[in-house]
Amino acid sequence: MSTTPATAPDYATEFAGRTALVTGAASGIGLATARRLGAGGANVVIADFNVEGAETAAAELNAEGVKAAAVALDVTSPESVEAAVRFTVDTFGGLDLAVNNAGIGGPSAPTGAYDIEAYDRVIRTNLDGVFYSLRHELPVIEAAGRGAIVNVASILGSTGFAGSPAYVAAKHGVVGLTKTAAAEYASKNIRINAVGPGFIDTPLLRGMDSTAYDGLVALHPAGRLGRSEEVAELIVFLLSDRASFVHGSYHLVDGAYTAV
């Protein structure tokens, strides 16, 4: 057996010549992922409902030497998703990689008292939005002959969480949708996987009451919340050729939240 070490990938160029569409990329995990893809040489489209935020993020990445563009996106609208994919192709000549990250939290209430309109809104955004994204991304990526997609689910794609029936249902659905699409497109040289972030340290969470924040931290045996950049690294690995035999998997990044 050969003992010659494998050639290490050049992380600064591993996505050179490829174009990525990242939804919900004006901030948080989406922006961290877009930045990391750009650092690897990808052209990046930042798609978000927050158009001003998307434009600001794209300007920041361009200033860092990344080829980035912003587009308005409402993932609850199939037409808006189709337009964002078309914008990506028109701007950079194709679509090779996609990160379906856009989502909302929704209100907290027990299932028997959950507002029906709020439930529908969360499902439309967090589950239907991923389906619409896949529906319009996959034909374009298939035509290119190869590609990779990562859907952002949650730790709540594998567990329950009192007061969040819509969010939990949607994220479980994302995991199932990921596995189904992966089985359909593996033979077409398209890899589709999902990640399940734990609770991520964001300005919104840092604004919580200190007792509530500390209680949230205590749910993670690692003793802290995650960082957007840590989730982005896993997403980028799954998009890369380093994960060439990874299909239909659901990867947790949660500080051991689901381990206990």
What does the CA dihedral 257, 103, 30, 200 come to, rounded to 10 degrees? -30
Q: Is the pLDDT of residue 8 over 70?
A: no
Q: What tokens does 231 get? A: 């989730």
**pLDDT score recorded for residue 1:** 45
CB 77 within 8 A of CB 69: no
Mean pLDDT of 113-119: 98
Determine what percent of the chain is predicted with pLDDT higher than 70: 96
**pLDDT score recorded for residue 2:** 46
Q: Model confidence at 12, in pLDDT bands (50, 70, 90)?
A: confident
Mean pLDDT of 222-245: 97
Per the DSSP assignment, residues forming a β-bridge with 23 are 47
**Helical residues (DSSP H) of the chain, grouped into ranges:** 28-39, 51-63, 78-92, 116-123, 129-144, 165-185, 203-206, 210-218, 228-239
Q: Model confidence at 10, in pLDDT bands (50, 70, 90)?
A: confident
Select which of 167, 185, 250, 257 is catalytic: 167
Going along the chain from its start, the domains and CATH numbers come out as 19-259 (3.40.50.720)
Mean pLDDT of 13-37: 97
CB 147 within 8 A of CB 162: no
Mean of the per-residue pLDDT values for the chain?
A: 95
> Is 167 a catalytic site residue?
yes
